[in-house]
Structure 1
Amino acid sequence: MSEKKERRILVAVDEGEESMHALSWCLSNLVHPNSDDTLILLYSKPPRPVYTAIDGPGGYLFSADVTAAIERYGDQVAHNVMEKAKKVCADLQPQVKVETKVENGDPRDVICEAAEKLAADVLVMGSHGYGVIKRAFLGSVSNHCAQKAKCPVLIVKKPKS
């Protein structure tokens, strides 16, 4: 008889409906009830923008108050996304083990690095479904991760309504 192996399923979540749809799909189709699977919810806080002056020698400097407010806002967004994701988990699979991770940086790099560092068995992501033009300008996080992640990547597209 084969031994049951715990799977580590990494799900990238963000503010978009697409990532919550991918999480719901994962809970309904990939995570088995009463399994030893661990679901790791990952949110990537985008790096703070750097502003420079085009005409002048310096750049725009923010006061400590403004910098702190920007940081608090980013923390609150991360908290809200994680709370929403944990609620989805509790509603669909209350018995599943859930871990949360919030990392700073470009989501493409953060997600791929986390998948490797956390020894994920599979990475689940949503897709915004951008067309060719938008994808060329904005880039595709899911496409990047599908190419660079060192584990299988499952991209879940939200059906058009």
Structure 2
Amino acid sequence: MAEIAAETKQQSKVMVAIDGSECSSYALKWALQNLDDKLKSGVILFTAISADYSGVCSGSYASVPLDMVTSIQDYQKIFAASLLSKAKEICTEFGVDAETISSSGNPKDAICDAVQKFHCQLLVIGSRSRKAIGRVFLGSVSNYCVHNANCPVLVVRKTA
């Protein structure tokens, strides 16, 4: 029985969703400081690259030129790589190996899909602490993940 527990612990995967915000950075550091036994086998750092360009051009008769969309996509990939690299350096400072993954799509769906695809046992995500009205209009990625991810979700909120 102890062998099974040791094997399960060794294979446990923790994914930390990051987006470049102070909240996600805080959640990563909190996890590294407080979940050290769960992270010994490594952590998956995940970021989603938005595929929604509807805000680029709001005119009903205008269309976004292909070269502009390509330029935005290239910038987002560079930003995601930089973000993941910085997060990986933080993990290294804590002595934790990290795998980095990015995916295109709506962050809510991309995070939940990645949790399932990589068989994660825990998702750590930051909370922006929006008021109820902000969550209604802007949505809440953390709330969505709590209700839709196929594993336990730890929402880390920075307190004052």
Alignment of 1:2-81 (within 5 A): 2-3=2-3, 4=6, 5-6=9-10, 7-32=12-37, 35=40, 37-50=41-54, 51=57, 53-54=59-60, 56=61, 59-64=62-67, 66-81=68-83
User: Which amino acid in 2 is paired with 1:60?
Assistant: S
Change (3 A) 1:34 1:86: closer
Q: Which has the higher helix share?
A: 2
| Secondary structure of the structure 2 residue equivalent to 1:150 | coil
Q: Which moved more, 1:26-35 or 1:124-133?
A: 26-35
* Aligned residue pairs, count: 153
Alignment of 1:1-161 (within 5 A): 2-3=2-3, 4=6, 5-6=9-10, 7-32=12-37, 35=40, 37-50=41-54, 51=57, 53-54=59-60, 56=61, 59-64=62-67, 66-92=68-94, 94=95, 96-160=96-160
Gaps of 5+ in 1: none
- Between the aligned partners of 1:34 and 1:48, the Cα distance in structure 2 is 33
- Between the aligned partners of 1:61 and 1:85, the Cα distance in structure 2 is 33
Superposed CA RMSD = 1.8
Gaps of 5+ in 2: none
> TM-score normalized by structure 1?
0.87
- Between the aligned partners of 2:143 and 2:81, the Cα distance in structure 1 is 26
> TM-score normalized by structure 2?
0.88
| Secondary structure of the structure 1 residue equivalent to 2:48 | strand
Alpha carbons 2:125, 2:155 under 8 Å: kept: yes
Q: Which moved more, 1:82-91 or 1:116-125?
A: 82-91
Q: Percent identity?
A: 35
